[in-house]
Amino acid sequence: MSGMTPTGITSDETVVVSLEGALGRIHLNRPEALNSLNLDMVRKISDGIDALESNPAVRAIALTGEGRALCAGGDIKMIWQVGRTAPQEALAFWAEEYRLNARISHLRKPWLAVMDGICMGGGVGLSVHGSHRIVTEKTRFAMPETGIGYFPDVGGTWALSRAPQHFGFWIGLTGATIGAADTIAAGLADAMVPSEALPALLADIASGQTVESAIKAHAVDRGVSMLKDNAVLIDSVFASGDMEEIFAALQANGSDFAKSTLALLKAKSPTSLVLTLHLLRAAQSSASLETCFDREYATDALILNGHDFYEGVRAAVIDKDRNPIWSPAQLGEVDQEGLVSAIKPLPSLFSTATADDL
């Protein structure tokens, strides 16, 4: 992605904020960690937005990433380390991250998120709430949280719940990685631009072109969407409000796609699946993105007191044995009503949040 790298970049800056003509740039520069976000980076991005949004010379702001990713997620290792002993420290990270994500949705200037490469978890939170979302042939988009005993956060419950034909439910529950065509089909990106054309796209905006006209000039056909090809099945199965019903419907269908989807789900934390389905369904009827952030934040507090998040991160990131032992181990063993009722509302992260039942 050297063609997108701002001039004057130095290796010790994890977030590079720069101005190129009419274009403000926020470039994530922690490639060795796939630009995963820590608290310092969250604050630097926020400060960068402050500077660029208030600068009258800036017509638009572009978010890009160094190396193979825009951003592969948040600092789950830190949360794993402090979650049991200092849960307020973990919650403080989420609070600042969520406020930043929400702020992106209300920016007064176009926010161009360039999802060239890996864009997962925290990277999704920096992207999908923006006004203009670009994918490329290199895009690897996912909300893989059910695989680590967690759930799609960073406003993911809001964005996924609004995808057509329950595509977002499939994405959030399976944790599967998708490409450009499926990301656009799910309403989580707006256009596909070839990776090699990105420097020209950014240069056009820097020269004063509108973001819309520049995207239109460089966009290409997004190709075939696997989600669209299986839309009837996804829409019928994932409309259910019960995970066991979803499992049974996939089993009964018997198609290759149903079998592969069921295999993905069976590898995930049963607790995470129940929580994720509840949060997505609640988000469908929520009045605002902020309401969903508050609900996710309350669920964070519950997750920190549980088992599967620590086990999932251990297996994926700490020991890397890829063999989490979930507790409960089976979907039928999860006390679904008790789990959902254990989500206790916390004070809103936003002074203007819409009142809504958690």
Which of the residues are catalytic? Answer: 74, 122, 145, 153
Q: How far apart are CA 333 and CA 273, in angstroms?
A: 12
- Beta-bridge partner residues of 65: 28
Residue type, 283: A
Question: Which residues on adjacent β-strands are paired with residue 27?
Answer: 16, 64
Q: What is the DSSP letter of 323?
A: -
Q: What angle do CA 201, 202, 208 make, to 5 degrees?
A: 100
- Measured between alpha carbons, how far is 340 from 328 in angstroms, rounded to an integer? 15
Cis ω before 199 (30° cut-off from 0): no
DSSP for 134-156 reads: EE-TT-EEE--GGGGT----TTH
Tokens of 326: 């979930």
Contact 247, 262 (CB under 8 A): yes
Which of helix, strand or coil describes residue 30?
A: coil
| One-letter amino acid for residue 104 of the chain | I
Cα–Cα distance measured from residue 11 to residue 72, given in angstroms and rounded to the nearest whole number: 19
Nearest Cα neighbor of 214 from 69, 110, 130, 139 is 110
